[in-house]
Amino acid sequence: MANVDQSLIAFFSNLVQPTVLIFVVVLLLSLWMLSSRNPRVNWPPGPVCFPVVGSLPQMMISGRRRQPTDLLPWYDIYGDIIHVKFGEQHMIMLGTYELIQEAFVKNAASVSARPTWIYFIKRIVGKDGAGVIFKSGHEWKELRRFTLSSLRDLGLGRRSLEERIQDEARYLVQNIEDEMGKAFSPINRIGKAVSNIISIIVFGARYDYNDTPEMLPVLEQAMRIGQGPLFFTNMARFLLPIKKIMALIDKLYSLIRQEVERHRQSFDPTDIRDFIDLFIKVTQEKQDPEIYTEWNVFRIIVDLYLAGTDTTANTLRWSLVHLMKRPDVQKKVQQEIDQVIGQGRVAKMEDKARMPFTEATILEVFRMSPVAPLGAPHATSETTNLAGYTIPKGTIILGDLYRVLHDKNNFEDPYKFIPERWLDDDGPRVCLGKGLAEMESFIFFTTLLQNFTFKVPEGEKPPDGVEGFNASTFTPYSYNVCAVRR
């Protein structure tokens, strides 16, 4: 009898395991089919969404090269507006200027939120968001107004800041001169030069090129680990080195807090030196304490340092790549510089109006190598109609600027570097990327070309002008250059 009981137990044990597995599979498929057939949601076309993982398998296969061009074939298959699902998170990718305008301008009231519920973003700014990049609604408007007002008070748009950029451009020229025309990598020293400008504004200090501020390598490491859209899924904790990323971010936070504490020790409310002093002042005065919390204003400091360093530095890095590949363009820019500025002084912003080809060349760098190919993530705060589709609340919206700027319908020969495309009878056309650190880009770019001719080192291949390292921002692969004094 005991043998019979054991046989029955073994039989049912063997039966239960596959039965449970089949039940779970059927349940997941049923939930998936019900959700995908929700009559209230009219999603745009897109890759197949599998249970649990969504479109992640296709994303990881198509995006394995980590290039902004990786997902462009999807637009040929599905159209200009694409629905994807990464894990549990729905996303919409917009591939035309008109769709981006419709979403972010015409529907700004419902498509201006930030997806702060996403695991990674929640870890770095909290579930309610903070600062000016990851905040929404009334608080974001107030914090943005405070930040713009503070930057103006600290010299943005005035001669004082322009002079500091001119000084830094001179320091950069002197540092490059020390190479005496020999091959070197410009990546780090361009980063240090641009970092010094935002450091002056935020921390009230600049650093010698031989001394690397602790914050800069931490920031650059954190920016290089990014994986684009994979960040926007709660499954990122399993797919990305989150512990390493968070350790770098915590280190950056710690270094900035140390700087804040140093400022507190010498703080004088009648002598505001930089943005950290403004941070201390506004938090001590307790104006609108629900908005001007220490965390919100601290995150503004982080946002300014992040946005003010990596993006402009990468634009300048890309500019040297393209000019080495197009020495004829480089020569034409230098001729315009010699005619308008000469060799006796540094460029200033009022020169720009008389230098259409130089400006057109900078715009072509922006177009050819946009440093933020997908821009900042937006999210719907309510159900929204977009291009005839019903987009539910809580959907992430990404504007694919890279696709727009490389669409042959917008630009002939989009993968060729042609500054002349920005010129017409009235001067340069308006660019989507215009205004991105405009003063820094113009003065640094012009001063470098005023003093040097940049060449590919003998025996080396020209750097790639299309592919680069696409993480949190799009940066060129490491390269060497010879800077020959003019």
Binding positions for heme are 431
Q: Which H/E stretch holds residue 470?
A: strand 469-470
Compute the distance between CA of residue 255 and CA of residue 253 in angstroms, rounded to an integer.
6
**Helix 187-203 to helix 159-177 angle, to the nearest 10 degrees?**
150
Beta bridge mates, 86: 54, 89
Contact 436, 312 (CB under 8 A): yes
What letter would DSSP give residue 104?
Answer: I
Task: Identify whether the C-beta of residue 132 lies closer than 8 Å to the C-beta of residue 303.
Answer: yes
Binding residues: 431
Helix/strand/coil for 374? coil
Question: Residue 319's closest CA among 433, 397, 404, 240?
Answer: 433
CA distance 67 to 413: 19
Residue 440's Cβ-side half-sphere holds a number of Cα atoms within 13 Å equal to 24
Q: How far apart are CA 70 and CA 452, in angstroms?
A: 35
Long-range contacts of 172-177 (CB under 8 A, 24+ apart): 172/444, 172/447, 172/448, 173/447, 173/448, 173/451, 173/452, 175/209, 176/448, 176/451, 176/452, 176/483, 177/451, 177/483, 177/485
Residue 211, classified by CB atoms within 10 Å of its CB into exposed (0-12), middle (13-18) or buried (19+), is exposed
**What are the tokens at 62?**
């198509």
Among residues 215, 402, 379, 373, the alpha carbon closest in space to that of 304 is found at 215
Residue of 33, 34, 41, 32 lying closest to 392 (CA atoms) = 41
The SS3 call for residue 446 is helix
Query: Distances in Å between the alpha carbon of 429 and those of 45, 239, 400, 402, 420?
Result: 33, 42, 21, 18, 11
Bridge partner residues of 42 (DSSP): 390
